[in-house]
């Protein structure tokens, strides 16, 4: 069991915990609990209940992730409305395979009509 070497160390951990919205409480067994004050009712953080002080210290002094960048406001143009969709040129598509087969069938029918084989 790790004993608190100085009151200054415990005060430093508690101060940092308070900045992050936590409280460090000493239980009767010589261990500590990290209480989350952001929820109602305040309750211990999962996995950090009745643990030695060095665990609390690691949790408190771990670097926080960077906050997401702030969203910029879009500048509105006065008077003119800018369309969000840009006009595009039409795409030329080749004839599908079934259309080519249909065309050859029609040419066969026309050839038979001209020869007189089909009425």
Predicted confidence (pLDDT) per residue in 34-76, tens digit: 999 888 898 888 888 899 999 999 999 888 888 888 888 776 6
- C-alpha pair distances (Å), 28 with each of 32, 33, 39, 51: 9, 11, 24, 12
State residue 116's pLDDT score: 74
- C-alpha pair distances (Å), 91 with each of 13, 88, 94: 66, 9, 10
pLDDT band at 22 (very low <50, low <70, confident <90, very high): very high
Predicted confidence (pLDDT) per residue in 28-40, tens digit: 888 999 999 888 8
Q: Computed over its alpha carbons, how large is the radius of gyration of the chain?
A: 38
What gap in Å lies between CA 81 and CA 10, rounded to an integer? 60
The position carrying tokens 């408190």 is 60
- 7-11, 85-89, 97-101, range with the lowest pLDDT: 97-101
Write the DSSP symbol of residue 117: S
Whole-model pTM: value is 0.50
């Amino acid at each position: 069991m790790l004993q608190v070497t100085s009151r200054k160390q415990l005060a430093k951990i508690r101060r940092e915990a308070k900045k992050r919205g936590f409280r460090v409480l000493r239980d009767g067994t010589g261990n500590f609990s990290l209480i989350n004050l952001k929820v109602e009712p305040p309750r211990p953080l999962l996995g950090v209940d009745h643990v030695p002080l060095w665990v609390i210290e690691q949790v408190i002094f771990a670097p926080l992730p960077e906050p997401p960048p702030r969203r910029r406001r879009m500048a509105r143009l006065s008077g003119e409305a800018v369309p969000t969709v840009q006009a595009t040129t039409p795409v030329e598509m080749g004839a599908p395979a079934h259309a080519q087969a249909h065309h050859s069938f029609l040419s066969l029918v026309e050839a038979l009509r001209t020869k007189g084989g089909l009425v």
